[in-house]
Amino acid sequence: MAAAALVLTVTLVGCAGAGSTESTPGALGTPGTPGTTQAMPRQSSAADEASPAAVPAPLPGLGPATLAGIPRNARQVVLVTGRGKDSPISRVVLYRRTSGGGWRPGATWPAHNALKGWTDDHHAGDLRSPIGVFGLTDAGGLRPDPGTKMPYDRSGGFAVGGTGFGGEPLAGSFDYVVAIDYNREPGTSPLDWTRPLGAGKGGGVWLHVDHGGPTHGCVSLAREHMKELLRTLDPGRHPVIVMGDAESLAR
């Protein structure tokens, strides 16, 4: 298969089309180890600490089952809508909760997801992105913190080489990442390899810099959009990502 032909030049094996999302725990860096700098979150403003808001107005394109999975206290939603169940093309919109309980959209950004599209039952190596609602709690990358309020782990463990499914270079794909809380421990570096659901359910699913082609399971955005997203996401607003193909999200 195409993934077998991909070669990494670093110890990190992520989902950016660079290889399997599974690796040996000892090969990955963790906060506090040499070459790793763990930034702590900035203080939230008083407005961020307001009392839990009322039930929000429905977000566009989301059906009752999907909406039911969004926590009531979430005031930032990264909505990733895939073109089709088997498509690697998607779009991303960051919605902000208004004081009136509705949702205000930001810009629409083009994105890539996994090579074979989406799945309700993600497993390691299936080349599909998981469908669902997941927390966004931790960030990191090879480059310095661009100004996020999230905990940010700068580490050489995010270096990546090799080529993607279309032969495009992967260098720089992990310059900026946000860990998607699928089968991982929230509150840890994206490089942490703990898998609460077991290794067979995959992991290492991130938002990261787009390299011009499909991923193994992640969602990728242009570099400038990743930096804007990092500067906007605020732990005090309990951000989540809602991701999947349009038909599945409408359920």
Question: Where do the structural domains in the chain lie, given as residue ranges?
Answer: 2-23+64-249
Q: How confident is the model at residue 15 (pLDDT cuts 50, 70, 90)?
A: low
Rounded distance between C-alpha atoms, residue 149 and residue 146, angstroms? 10
What are 43's two structure tokens? 């203080």
Separation in Å, CA 51 to CA 54, 57, 74, 169, 237: 9, 18, 12, 46, 11
Mean pLDDT in the chain?
84
Confidence of residue 100 (pLDDT cuts 50, 70, 90): confident
- pLDDT tens-digit readout, 196-237: 999 999 999 999 999 999 999 999 999 999 999 999 999 999
